[in-house]
Amino acid sequence: MDGKGNLDGAEIQAGCGPLLSDSMTVQKPMRQRIFEHVRAQGQTARTDITRALGISPGSATTLTAELIQQGLLHEVNQAHREHGRGRPPVALEIIPGAGHVIGIKLSHERHTGLLTDFAGNTIAQTELITPLGTRTLDVLVEEIDRLITRLLKHTDQSLQDISGVGIGLPGIISHEDGQVRWSPLLMEREQALGTVCTERFGVPICLENDANMLTLAELWYGAGRAMTDFAVVTIENGVGMGLVLNNQLYRGSFGVGLELGHTKVQIDGALCRCGQRGCLEAYLADYALAREASTALNYPVHQQHSMQATVDNLFTEAQGGNDAALTIFRRAGRYLSLGLSNVMQLFDPALIILSGERMRYDYMYVDAVMEDVQALTLARGEQQCQVKIHNWGDQAWARGATARALSEVTDTMFGPEGRFQ
């Protein structure tokens, strides 16, 4: 973490997965808990397993021996002794090649794919540039197919070697049945993307809102690994939010909650792409900034500019001292402070991580904006929520999708009908 509160990859520890247990973890079979503990630690000794999970040394020895026999764990030497006799200390480690998963982020301008092994190591990654605008379900599935094909070409793996695929996309997604209730990527609502992809690729598919995927990246690989409660707010083509409570991803009662971008900040306000008015997203997202920029930069009606180019030009003008451009960013910053203060007031997280491409537009989160955030919440004394910036790129979203796939595959493996029940 640098002096400005930015988070970077230097903070990432060995292993992958949450470092703290939760109520769901305790309910899992002990072999699964051991497997997940080893994966989260990267390497760990049996004595550490007994302490962490509260089991006897004999149980740890028996259960880890079964996991070794099943090809999921192996022993490695922790260190070589220069003095004394006896066997070097032995640690346990996930066998990376025990399985592979794919994580995918779907977005407006490009799709990103990542292939990892069972230890969370990245094997390959790729991107697919896509045309702007909405598309039919069939076209989106074809794009996913092209991305997966391109990703596998970089490895010696085939689709039959893949244990699961996680897909994150913007919108209201039902993670349980893979139904896309609404997404700005699709022309129509209520699309069975999960079912169609499962039938098309013959691999277990799990869908999730993309902000949730990025939150899983923080929980499995990033700043949230050792935290019980934190939030992730994303600002890109839209505004999203993911929340971890008690070390678990929170989705709401029906699995489609925490649409921060579609909370209302002004009655009958600006038009949002969801069709309603006054949404927070309608003041912060790319299309909102581009809409304002067209007027501020005096673009002729007939002149066509891409959304990205328009927003980039707006930022350049702001850097050059253009008052109209500065006003747009400062206004967006005020709405951002309103949204963040509401998150703090409702959920009381210890940390909020701001992420997404728009985080490079520093006028949206200058010191004055952060001061407004604290001023808009009730007095908390010294127990203030920290707001940090995380500058990971698209690969982080896809990596969160691999975490979702790894979690799903692991639950299935050790479940009642799994290979290692």
| Helices 307-319, 323-347: inter-axial angle, 10-degree rounding | 100
Digit-coded pLDDT (tens) for 262-289: 999 999 999 998 889 999 999 988 888 8
pLDDT in tens, 88-116: 678 999 999 999 999 999 998 899 999 99
Is 419 a domain residue? no
Residue whose pair of structure tokens reads 């007994």 in the numeric block: 50
Give a yes or no: residue 221 inside a domain: no
Of 96-105, 246-255, 360-369, the poorest mean pLDDT is in 360-369
Residue-number span of the structural domain to which 102 is assigned: 98-216+395-414
Domain for residue 186, yes or no? yes
The answer to whether residue 420 sits within a structural domain is no
Using pLDDT thresholds of 50, 70 and 90, give the confidence band for residue 4: very low
This prediction's pTM: 0.87
Asked if 178 and 201 sit in the same domain, the reply is yes
Q: Are residues 253 and 132 in the same domain?
A: no
Summarize pLDDT for 313-362 with one digit per residue, the tens: 888 888 888 898 888 888 888 899 999 999 998 988 989 998 877 676 66
Reported as a single tens digit per residue, the pLDDT across 41-84 is 999 999 999 999 999 999 999 999 999 999 999 999 875 444 45
- Shared domain for 270 and 151, answered yes or no, is no
251 and 374 co-located in one domain? yes
263 and 131 belong to one structural domain? no
- 19 inside domain: yes
111/198 same-domain check? yes
* pLDDT of 236 strictly over 50: yes
Q: Are residues 328 and 241 in the same domain?
A: yes
Per-residue model confidence as pLDDT tens digits over 134-171:
999 999 999 999 999 999 998 888 999 999 999 999 98
Beta-carbon count within 10 A of 345 CB: 12
Distance CA 213, CA 211 (A): 5
Q: How many helices, marked H, and strands, marked E, lie in the chain?
A: 13, 15
| Residues 152, 284 share a domain | no
Q: Is residue 1 part of a domain?
A: no
For the cut 80, the answer to whether the pLDDT of residue 407 exceeds it is yes
- Closest C-alpha among 75, 108, 103 to residue 90: 75
3-class state of residue 392 by DSSP:
coil
CA distance 55 to 97: 28
Contacts of 268 (CB under 8 A, 6+ apart): 277, 278
- Residues 268 and 388 both lie in one domain: yes
Q: Classify residue 379 by burial, with Cβ atoms within 10 Å: 0-12, 13-18, 19+.
A: exposed
Confidence label for 370 from pLDDT (cuts 50, 70 and 90)? confident
> What are the φ and ψ backbone dihedral angles of 14, each rounded to 5 degrees?
-65, 160
The strand ranges marked E within 130-228 are 162-169, 172-174, 179-182, 205-209
- Assign residue 374 the CATH number of its domain: 3.30.420.40
CATH number at residue 48: 1.10.10.10
Query: How many C-beta neighbours within 10 Å does residue 132 have?
Result: 11
**Residue at 278 is within a domain:** yes
pLDDT band, residue 126 (cuts 50/70/90)? very high
pLDDT of residue 358: 67
Q: What is the pLDDT of residues 295-308, one digit of tens each?
A: 877 776 556 667 77
SS3 208: strand
Q: Are residues 345 and 261 in the same domain?
A: yes
Last residue of a domain, one of 68, 94, 120: 94
Identify the band that residue 7 occupies on the pLDDT scale cut at 50, 70 and 90. Answer: very low
Same domain membership, residue 183 and residue 47: no
Helix (H) or strand (E) holding 416: none
Distance CA 72, CA 93 (A): 9
**Assigned domain for 421 exists:** no
User: Nearest 5°: CA angle at 236, between 232 and 240?
Assistant: 40
Q: Does residue 251 have a pLDDT over 70?
A: yes
3-state secondary structure 7-38: ECHHHCCCCCCCCCCCHHHHCCCHHHHHHHHH
Segment among 3-7, 26-30, 55-59, 392-396 with least mean pLDDT: 3-7
> Which pLDDT value is given to residue 6?
45
User: Residue 2: its pLDDT value, please?
Assistant: 36
Query: Among 44, 76, 94, which residue terminates a domain?
Result: 94
What's the burial of 339, exposed, middle or buried (CB within 10 Å: 0-12/13-18/19+)?
buried
Residue 380 has pLDDT above 80, yes or no: no
Count of CB atoms situated within 10 Å of the CB of 137? 17
Domain count, the chain: 3
The percent of residues above 70 in pLDDT, for the chain, comes to: 88
315 and 357 in a single domain? The answer is yes
